């Protein structure tokens, strides 16, 4: 089977980490008899330099025509780069918003995985995280408070700001479906998070996130409780399903409890199988070109692409197991380095993971 992958290395460490993910994908292809063909596209600062804008229509069309998109990261050093003299809609990060919108991606998945071998990086007490944890935050990406009408008015000399939080049942149903589909490929548990004791939008959310998947255990939790449970007992979660703003906050909290930014992958999905897969971190300009960046978040994002866009389950497992094995064998990039371990660079980390596929 041939899969057409649009590859967007981007800026900073982007090209280095994407190169390692391709190396691992190629090894998967060899081993399991698939062919991945790549089309390299420019987005972010490098696209500004080449075309004067962070994402051209041609690039967007090429991404749409692919089976899936693998992205590194975009952006430069905000204090120093000329890209940040441009108006906000012409800066590198504007490319990200435009591609997510152009590909009609409305579901964002951010896994929070604590590998047992990296438990030292987790800020929680060891007894809470023994054996590691592995859950995902599934966040609705295109509705809610961030996209509702807003205005600031003045009444009787007093300024008043109004933001509106809107969801319709179709928006809720389509993200819930992704939540359940992802749970079916994982631990078959969905915890839907809302504020149904206060908000109408949450009451609608709760009524729509119904139990159409008899094999999946569905629970509901209030967002304030969820924020506490994430640091009290993160092992209880499999899929946390929630609306845009709650997901924004909870996914950052969840990534903090893992403690290692270079390890965290992410995926954005829409109505079709085409998804956008990228590490959760940025372009780390401080590390660019030094063979120091941790490529694991990008490699794990490629594994998610195999699982969610291509339904290649055992191939995705092979990548995840190879990452675990490399950690078990004691290899670390500088960001996750620990006493008694062997420090390796970006390229060697990619080689070690590819060897273990
Ligand atoms: P960042 O995630 O790039 O870096 C934060 C810190 O984490 C830095 O110390 C960096 O060295 C480290 N780090 C990040 N990724 C790492 C990796 N793979 N291995 C080892 N260490 C890693 O965030 P920032 O410094 O706030 O932003 C830098 C640039 O990235 C900015 O231009 C920002 O706008 C952009 N950015 C892009 C995205 C994206 O493309 N999705 C996301 C966030 C930030």
Q: What is the pLDDT along the chain (357 residues), one digit of tens a residue?
A: 899 999 999 999 999 999 999 999 999 999 999 999 999 999 999 999 999 999 999 999 999 999 999 999 999 998 889 999 999 889 999 999 899 989 999 999 999 999 888 888 789 999 998 888 999 999 999 999 988 899 999 999 999 999 999 999 999 999 999 999 999 989 999 999 999 999 999 999 999 998 778 999 999 999 999 999 999 999 999 999 999 999 999 998 998 888 788 899 999 999 999 999 999 999 999 999 999 999 999 999 999 999 999 999 999 999 999 999 999 999 999 999 988 999 999 999 999 999 999
Closest CA to 312 of 28, 64, 69: 28
pLDDT at 205: 97
Residues in Cβ contact with 50 at an 8 Å cutoff, skipping those fewer than 6 apart? 42
Residue 167 a catalytic site member: no
Coil, strand or helix at 211:
coil
Would you call 98 a catalytic residue per the annotation? no
pLDDT at 13 (0 to 100):
98
Question: Which protein residue has the closest C-alpha to ligand 1 atom 1?
Answer: 282
Q: Which atom of ligand 1 is nearest to the CA of 293?
A: 19
Distance 284 CA to ligand 1 centre (A): 4
Cβ within 8 Å of residue 234, ≥6 positions away: 112, 114, 124, 128, 129, 133, 135, 254, 257
Distance between CA 139 and CA 240 in Å, rounded?
Answer: 8
What whole-number distance in Å separates Cα of residue 195 and Cα of residue 93?
Answer: 31
pLDDT given at position 258: 86
pLDDT at residue 182, as a whole number: 92
Which pLDDT belongs to residue 212? 76
β-pairing verdict for 239-242 and 189-194: parallel
Contact residues of ligand 1, CB 6 A cut-off: 13, 17, 73-76, 78, 93, 96, 261-262, 278, 281-287, 293-294, 297, 335
**From 283, 302, 348, mutation site for ligand 1 pocket: most ligand atoms within 8 A of C-beta:** 283
Considering the candidates 32, 38, 84, 146, report the single residue annotated as catalytic. Answer: 146
Going by CA atoms, what residue is nearest to atom 27 of ligand 1? 282
CB burial readout 190-211, b (16+ within 10 A) else e: bbbbbbbeebebbebbbebbee
**Residue 238 designated active-site:** no
pLDDT of amino acid 230? 96
pLDDT of residue 118: 87
Question: Is this model's pTM higher than 0.85 or not?
Answer: yes
């Amino acid at each position: 089977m041939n899969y057409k992958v649009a590859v967007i290395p981007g800026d900073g460490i982007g090209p280095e980490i994407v190169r390692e993910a391709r190396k691992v994908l190629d090894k998967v292809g060899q081993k399991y008899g698939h062919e991945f063909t790549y089309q390299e596209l420019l987005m972010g600062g490098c696209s500004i330099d080449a075309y004067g804008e962070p994402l051209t229509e041609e690039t967007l069309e090429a991404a749409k025509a692919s089976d899936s998109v693998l992205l590194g990261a975009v952006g430069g050093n905000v204090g120093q780069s000329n890209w940040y003299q441009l108006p906000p809609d012409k800066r590198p990060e504007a490319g990200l918003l435009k591609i997510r919108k152009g590909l009609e991606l409305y579901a964002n998945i951010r896994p929070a995985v604590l590998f047992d071998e990296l438990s030292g990086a987790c800020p929680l007490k060891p007894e809470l995280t023994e054996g590691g944890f592995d859950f995902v935050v599934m966040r609705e990406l295109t509705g809610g408070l961030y996209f509702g009408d807003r205005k600031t008015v003045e009444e009787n000399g007093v300024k008043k700001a109004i933001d509106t939080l809107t969801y319709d049942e179709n928006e809720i149903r389509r993200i819930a479906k992704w939540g359940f589909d992802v749970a079916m490929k994982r631990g078959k548990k969905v915890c839907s998070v809302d504020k149904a004791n206060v908000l109408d939008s949450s009451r609608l959310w709760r009524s729509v996130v119904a139990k159409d998947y008899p094999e999946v255990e569905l629970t509901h939790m209030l967002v304030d409780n969820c924020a506490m449970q994430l640091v009290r007992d993160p092992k209880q979660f499999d899929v946390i399903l929630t609306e845009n703003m709650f997901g924004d906050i909870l996914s950052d909290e969840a990534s903090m409890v893992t403690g290692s930014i270079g390890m965290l992958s992410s995926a954005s999905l829409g109505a079709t199988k085409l998804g956008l897969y990228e590490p959760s971190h940025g372009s780390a300009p401080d590390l660019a070109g030094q063979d120091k960046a941790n490529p694991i978040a990008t490699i794990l994002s490629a594994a998610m692409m195999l699982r969610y866009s291509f339904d290649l389950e055992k191939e995705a497992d092979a990548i995840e197991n190879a990452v675990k094995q490399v950690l078990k064998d004691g290899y670390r990039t500088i960001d996750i380095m620990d006493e008694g371990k062997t420090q390796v660079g970006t390229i060697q980390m990619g080689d070690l993971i590819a060897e273990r596929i």
